[in-house]
Amino acid sequence: MKIFKVKMDLLLVMSRLAKFNLGEYNSPYPTIFVEAEDPDEACYSALYKLVEIILKQDDSEKTSNLVKDMVYDIRVTKVIVPK
């Protein structure tokens, strides 16, 4: 497994996530480090970690629907293996 550096664009969803403590995702353009086999798995892991953070804080139906909608507004802009 490799460590991947995943750069994300959360600009479109930051206003909807203001009430959550997002940790390392608390920026419109966060850089997340994940361990994965390939770049696709790294993108999935980075997104899944964000969803997990949100749902651990509030697992209501409203938040679940928010997560389903916001996933389409999040972009991964770059995935690299740092040297």
**How many Å apart are CA 33 and CA 18, to the nearest integer?**
22
Cα torsion angle, 49, 8, 59, 53, sign: positive
Alpha-helix runs per DSSP H in the chain: 39-57, 61-70
Give the tens place of pLDDT for each residue, 3-13: 999 999 999 99
Give the tens place of pLDDT for each residue, 21-72: 999 999 999 999 999 999 999 999 999 999 999 999 999 999 999 999 999 9
- Quick one: pLDDT at residue 83? 79
- Quick one: pLDDT at residue 51? 96
Bridge pairing between strands 75-80 and 31-36: unpaired
Reported pTM: 0.90
